[in-house]
Amino acid sequence: MITMDALRFTPGSGLDLVEAPTPSPAAGEVIVEVVAAGLCGSDVAVINGARTLAAPIILGHEISGTVVAGGAGVDDVHVGDSVVVSPIVVCGECPACARGEENLCESRQVIGMDRDGGLARFVAVPAANALPLPASVPHEWGAICVDAVATPFHALKTRARLVEGEAVAVLGIGGLGQHAVQLAAAITDAPIVAVDVRAEQLDFARLIGATAAVDARVDGLAGRLVEAAGGPLDVVLDFAGVGSSLDAALASLRAGGRAVRVALEHGSLELTDPIGMVRSETMLAGSYGFTRAEVVEVLDMVASGRLDLSRSISHTVALADVPRVLDDMAQGAPGYRRVVVNPVLDMP
């Protein structure tokens, strides 16, 4: 049996570098040789127990690489193609899929969470999830496009419906929030206010497109947001998941404004002025994942130069480094933005 190095998380045991069987393609699948795999806050949540897995899984849901084999019935993806892997596997038949809301598929699975992912030399994925990587986009950028960029893109475009001329606040300048700032800057010429408690992240947000930055710990956060934007906000995006901050930010919205919560692994939200939300028709919505079409849109933005990811990746590491890096990320160690894993780095 041919084996490969892989990082497998086992519930109750933890994350281990193992020799796993090299996958073979089933019908409708392709095998991707992984060139780059991004690390995400969701991976941190698995490691620290905030998110549970049902079975041992090879982690890694931000994947870019080269197709090396295809199963029966695969016609549109070919050996040698450079691809990114959209990690949400859908049925294509349920009501959500029929509505074009495949991210809400009733039987969806996530590669790297529900089935083996890309923290390995090779990964088997449905051919429909292998999307062409434009020649001008590096594999490292392509890997992070399929979550770190596509998730805030979905939140901005589909859920918040941000348009040119609208002001936006981004709560939490982590791996998703930093790209929300950049995407907002590509959509609107109005103020973009970054909100975080880390001076390093606020400075970085200014560098990539934020017009103002506010420490979330300040008294009267709603008023500070309005002041920073030069008036009430049109849109608030929450990537931090701190209920008190989102509650305050809701009060900074104009009548008819929209707030979208993207953060997953955090506590509840208590609204202090629900009647005010009713009278001002403020909208509060959730946003989950993205569609394959939105991944393609994001890749097109990068390929055309509308979105520059040259500052996004702070570290490129080997598989053996991942446990330490995830622990650093869980502890909030400074200096990390987006981390990409190269499965063949340091291999003999």
170: CATH: 3.40.50.720
Does 300 reside within a domain? no
Shared-domain flag, residues 160 and 276: yes
* Position 347 confidence tier, pLDDT thresholds 50, 70, 90: low
Is the pLDDT at 296 greater than 60, yes or no? yes
- Tally of domains in the chain: 2
Average pLDDT over residues 180-187: 97
Shared-domain flag, residues 157 and 123: no
* Position 348 confidence tier, pLDDT thresholds 50, 70, 90: low
Is the pLDDT at 320 greater than 60, yes or no? yes
Does 295 reside within a domain? no
Is the pLDDT at 39 greater than 90, yes or no? yes
pLDDT, residue 281, reads 97
Lowest mean pLDDT among 42-46, 69-73, 117-121, 282-286: 42-46
- Distance CA(159)–CA(162), nearest Å, equals 8
Q: 96 or 12, which is more confident?
A: 96
Lowest mean pLDDT among 189-193, 290-294, 333-337: 333-337
* Position 275 confidence tier, pLDDT thresholds 50, 70, 90: very high
Does 75 reside within a domain? yes
* Position 345 confidence tier, pLDDT thresholds 50, 70, 90: confident
* Position 264 confidence tier, pLDDT thresholds 50, 70, 90: confident
> In Å, what is the CA distance from 3 to each residue of 13, 19, 148, 327?
22, 6, 30, 27
Does 48 reside within a domain? yes
Phi-psi region of 60 (alpha: psi -120 to 50; beta: other; left: phi over 0): left
Shared-domain flag, residues 115 and 198: no
Lowest mean pLDDT among 165-179, 198-212, 323-337: 323-337
- Distance CA(215)–CA(217), nearest Å, equals 5
CB 30 within 8 A of CB 61: no
pLDDT, residue 46, reads 93
Shared-domain flag, residues 57 and 94: yes
Question: Of 9, 6, 95, which is closest to residue 52 (Cα–Cα)?
Answer: 9
pLDDT, residue 290, reads 98
Shared-domain flag, residues 122 and 174: no
Is the pLDDT at 185 greater than 80, yes or no? yes
CB 321 within 8 A of CB 296: no
Does 296 reside within a domain? no
pLDDT, residue 187, reads 96
pLDDT, residue 94, reads 98
Shared-domain flag, residues 211 and 262: yes
Is the pLDDT at 143 greater than 90, yes or no? yes
* Position 346 confidence tier, pLDDT thresholds 50, 70, 90: low
Shared-domain flag, residues 155 and 112: no
When the pLDDT of each residue in the chain is averaged and rounded to a whole number, the result is: 95
Average pLDDT over residues 125-141: 98
Does 216 reside within a domain? yes
Is the pLDDT at 197 greater than 80, yes or no? yes
Shared-domain flag, residues 173 and 273: yes
In this structure, the number of other CB atoms found within 10 A of the CB of residue 24 comes to 12
Shared-domain flag, residues 254 and 129: no
Shared-domain flag, residues 157 and 128: no
Shared-domain flag, residues 66 and 166: no
Is the pLDDT at 294 greater than 90, yes or no? yes
List the domain range (segments joined by +) for residue 207. 149-286
pLDDT, residue 269, reads 87
| CATH code of the domain covering residue 39 | 3.90.180.10
Does 85 reside within a domain? yes
Is the pLDDT at 272 greater than 70, yes or no? yes
User: With pLDDT > 90 as the criterion, what percentage of the chain qualifies?
Assistant: 91
Shared-domain flag, residues 231 and 110: no
- Residue 125 contacts by C-beta under 8 Å, 6 or more apart in sequence? 29, 30, 32, 63, 85, 89, 111
